[in-house]
Structure 1
Amino acid sequence: MTQTANAQWQRPGPRSAELFERAARVTPGGVNSPVRAFSGVGGTPAFIDHASGAYIYDVDGNEYVDYVGSFGPMILGHAHPAVVEAVQQQASKGLSFGAPTGLETELAELVCSMVDSIESVRMVNSGTEAAMTALRLARGHTGRKKVIKFAGNYHGHVDALLVNAGSGALTLGIPGSPGVPEAVVQDTLVATYNDLDSVAEAFKAHGDDVACVMVEPVAGNMNCVPPEDGFLQGLRDLCDEYGALLVFDEVMTGFRVHPGCAQAHFGVTPDVTALGKIVGGGMPVGAVGGPSKVMETLAPTGPVYQAGTLSGHPLGMAAGIATLSRLKDGSVHEAIAPKLDSLLQGLQQCADKHGVPFLTQRVGAMFGMFFTDASRVSRFDDVAACDTDKFAVFFHTMLDHGVYLAPSAFEAGFISQAHDDTAIQRTLEAADAAFAAVAQA
C-alpha cells in the first residue's frame, strides 16, 4: 500500500507513532520480530500497554478485540488470574537459579500425561530452540544428515530450516536469508505440504540418509492450512518404511487444537514433538518430547549435546503449569468450539453480503482467513495466490473498528475462552464495515 493510502487509517494514534519512531532509532525496523512492523499491511504498528481477557489496549487508549493472542499462547485469555498469580508467587521466591526445581518436573509430568507420544521432556526457551533441538536429536539418534521439510512450514529461524521453497514437488534447499551459508542447508530437502508424492520422491532419492521429516501438522505460518485426509498418516508410513523419525512441530498447534495436541486430534503419532507458546502460558518456554529411548540420546544420558542457562525458568514453568492444568480435561476447548463456529460463520456471511471472495478454515482453536474464490486452500501456492491487497484493507478497517488481527495475510488467527458473545458481535460489526471497504477498494 502507498503512503497516501496509509494516511487514511485512524488507528493507532500519535503515542504509538512516537514510540515506533523512537524504537526505529535503537532497534532494527523498530521491532523485535519482523511481522510486528506492519510491513505486510502498511501503516504504523500499535504499541500495546496492557491486556485483559479477550482485549488488548494500546498506549493511545484504544481497545481492541484481540485475535493474535501473542501468536497463540493466550488460549485462556490475557492476564488470566490463575496464571498471573502463579507467576507472581514464584517471582517472590526468586527469578532464576541455574539449578533444578520441582516446577520443571511438575510441568514435564503434565505434558507427559496429556500427550501420549511423550514419555520424556527437555525444557528449552523458545519454539525456535525446540525445533533446533528436535532436528539435532533426530540426526544424532539416527546417524543421518538430511531432513525433509515443507514449503510454507516455519520452524523458527534455525539456519538449516530457514529455506526458500520452490514451486516444484521437491526443491533442494537454498538459503532463505543472507547469513545462512549454502553448506548449512545442503541437507535440507523441501517438499510440498499436502503432497505425499513429493515426500516419496525425496525418500526415493535420499532415503538412506534422511534423519527425519519435520512438519507442522497444521500449517500455521502460511495462515491456517489443515492437512488433507491421509497426509499425516502417509508421512508416518514413509518414515517407518525408510527408518526416519517423524517430527511434529507443535509449537503452534500444541494444546491449542486439542488437549493432547494435533497428534491426538488427527490420530497420528510422531517420534519427536517440538512445543512452545501454550506450554509456557505466555512466558518464553519451549520443549522437546518423545519416547524415552529417543530422548535419552540427549546429554547427559546420551551424546547429543543441548544446554541452556535459562531452560526450565521458574516463572515459565509456573505459568505453564497454571495453563495446562486448566486445559487437561478438554472443557476449555469444548467451550471455545461454538464461539469460533459463530465467528467464522458470521465472517462468511458478511463477505457474501458484500460480494467479496472469502474463505475461512479452522482446526480446534486456530483459524485462517483467505481472500480467494477457491473452495479450499491446501498448499503454499494456494496461499500465495490469495489477494493480500484486499487483506490489507480488511486489516486496517478492522483495526479502525477495534479488532486486532495479525498484521499479515500469512498468519493464523487465535481465539480464547475469554472471547464471549459481546466480543464476537463487536468483531462481526467491524467485519461488516471491513468487507464493505474491501468491496469498494
Structure 2
Amino acid sequence: PFNDLDTCSKIIKKEELACVFFEPVQGAACVPAEKEFIKGLREVCDQTGTLLIADEVITGFRLAPGGGQEVLGIKPDLTTFGKAIGGGEFPVGAVGGRRDIMELMDHTKHPRRSENVAQGGTYSGNPLVMRAGYEAMQEYKKKDVYNNINKLGERLKTGFKEIMERSNTEGYVAGLGSMVKIHFLKERTKNNDLQTLLSKAHKEREIKYFHHLLSNRILAMAPGKVHFFISNPHTTEDIDNLITVTEDFIKSIK
C-alpha cells in the first residue's frame, strides 16, 4: 500500500522480491509519496538486496530537473522515464540507473547470455524523437520553467482549496508542484491517504465535472480521471479561468 511503510516492509522481507517500484507522486491521484515512506523503502531494499525502481514516467523532468527523486531526496537503483522527454509531442521511454546494472545490457562487457540482459526495440533511438528529446532537455535546463509551472500549480491548488472550503464541499485537493487534482468524496474523512480517497471517491460527481469542463472548452484526460498537469505554455489567465469554471461547477451541485 502506498505510504504504508510497515506493510510494505513486511511484504518485501517475506516475499524475497527482485525489485520494488514506486511513484514519487501517485499518477492520476496526484498524491505525493511521504519522504519517510520513501526513505524507509530505500532502507528495507538495501537490507534485503532488493532493487528500488522509481517510476518517473510522469514526474521525471516535471517536478524538477532531477524529477521526483530530487524533490524527495531519494536515490533509486533504476529509474524509468517517458512523457516529458518527448516534449509532450513524441512517444518515448527511457531507463537509467546504477552503472553496474546498466552495464548488464552491454554485451561487450558481459558476453555470456547468463550474465547479460537483452534489450532492444523496433523504434529504439528513433532520430526524430531523440532530436525532439534533446531540444526539450535544453528547455528544461532553464530554471524559469520549473519556477513558472510550480508557481502556477500552487496557485491552482490554493484556488481549489479555497473553493472547497467556502462551499463546504466534501473533497480533498491533492498535488505537488505542477500536478493538482480535486478528489470529490461521498463523505467527509479525517484521513487523506490514497486508499481512503479511492474508496470514498464520488465517481459520478467527477464525471459531471469532466463534462462541465468540456462544455467550457477545458479538456481533461477522461471522465472519472480529471487531474491537471500544468505545462510551461499555460498562463495565469488559464489557471484563473479553470478556478472560476470549477467554482461554477461546485455552485451547480450544491
TM-score by length of 2: 0.89
Work out whether 1:306 is the aligned partner of 2:113: no
Aligned to 2:113: none
Partner residue in 2 for 1:194: 3
Task: Identify the structure with bigger relative contact order (alpha carbons < 8 Å, sequence gap 6+).
Answer: 1
Segments of 5+ residues of structure 2 without an aligned counterpart are: 111-115
Per-residue CA distance 1:362-418 (angstroms, 9 max, x = gap): 112112210133465322343231111111122211211222222244464201122
Give the distance between the partners of 1:350 and 1:411, measured in 2 at CA.
17
Q: What is the aligned partner in structure 2 of residue 347 from structure 1?
A: 160
Give yes or no for contact 1:226–1:378 (8 Å, CA) kept in 2: no
1:250 pairs, out of 35, 42, 56, with 56
Which of 197, 203, 208 is equivalent to 2:12? 203
Out of 288, 294, 308, which is 2:95 matched to? 288
Distance 1:411 1:198 in 2: 29
CA contact (8 A) 1:218 1:226 kept: yes
Shift, 1:424, TM fit: 1.8
Matched to 1:256, the amino acid is: R
Q: Distance in 1 between matches of 2:53 and 2:226?
A: 22
SS state at 1:432 partner: helix
For residues 247-284 of structure 1, the C-alpha deviation after alignment (integer angstroms, 9 at most, x for no partner) is 00100110111111111111000000000000122211
For residue 428 of structure 1, what is the aligned residue in structure 2? Answer: 243
Residue 149 of structure 1 aligns with which residue?
none
Structure 1 residues 220 and 430, CA, compared in 2 at 3 Å: closer, same or farther? Answer: same
**SS where residue 359 of structure 1 aligns?**
strand
Q: Which amino acid aligns with 1:197?
A: D
* Residues 130-209 of structure 1: pairs in structure 2 closer than 5 A: 192-207=1-16
Identity of aligned residues (%): 33
CA RMSD, 1 decimal: 1.8
CA distance in 2, matches of 1:384, 1:276: 29
Confirm or deny that 1:356 pairs with 2:163.
Answer: no
1:225 maps to what in 2?
A: 31
Residue 377 of structure 1 contacts residue 383 of structure 1 at CA under 8 Å; is this kept in 2?
A: no
TM-score by length of 1: 0.53
Q: 1:377 to 1:313 in 2, by over 3 A?
A: farther
Q: Are positions 1:235 and 2:41 aligned together?
A: yes
Q: What CA distance in whole angstroms lies between the structure 2 residues aligned with 1:397 and 1:370?
A: 16
1:135 paired residue number: none
Cα contact 2:220–2:227 (8 A) shared by 1: no
1:371 aligns with 2:184: yes
Q: CA deviation at 1:335?
A: 1.4
What SS does the corresponding residue of 1:316 show, helix, strand or coil? helix
Partner of 2:21: 214
Asked whether 1:332 is paired with 2:145, we answer: yes
**Is the contact made by 1:350 and 1:432 (CA closer than 8 Å) also made in structure 2?**
yes
Q: Does the 8 A contact of 1:217 with 1:250 survive in 2?
A: yes
**Runs of 4+ displaced beyond 6 Å:** none
Aligned with 1:403: secondary structure?
coil
Change (3 A) 1:375 1:404: farther
- Alpha-carbon separation, structure 1, partners of 2:85 and 2:41: 25
Q: Contact 1:228–1:378 (CA<8 Å) still a contact in 2?
A: no
Report the Cα distance in structure 2 between the residues aligned to 1:381 and 1:355, rounded to whole angstroms: 19
More displaced 10-residue stretch of structure 1: 401-410 or 306-315 = 401-410
Write the deviation string for residues 286-331 of structure 1: whole angstroms up to 9, x where unpaired.
0010122110111534421111121111111111111111112432
Which runs of 5 or more residues in structure 1 are unaligned? 1-191
Shift of 1:421: 2.1
Judging by fraction of residues, say which structure has more helix: 2
- Letter paired with 2:49: G
Partner Cα separation in structure 2 for residue 347 and residue 388 of structure 1: 18
Residue 135 of structure 2, aligned match among 322, 329, 336? 322
Distance 1:411 1:401, change over 3 A: closer
1:402 and 2:217 matched: yes
1:273 alignment partner, one of 68, 75, 79: 79
Q: CA deviation at 1:345?
A: 1.8
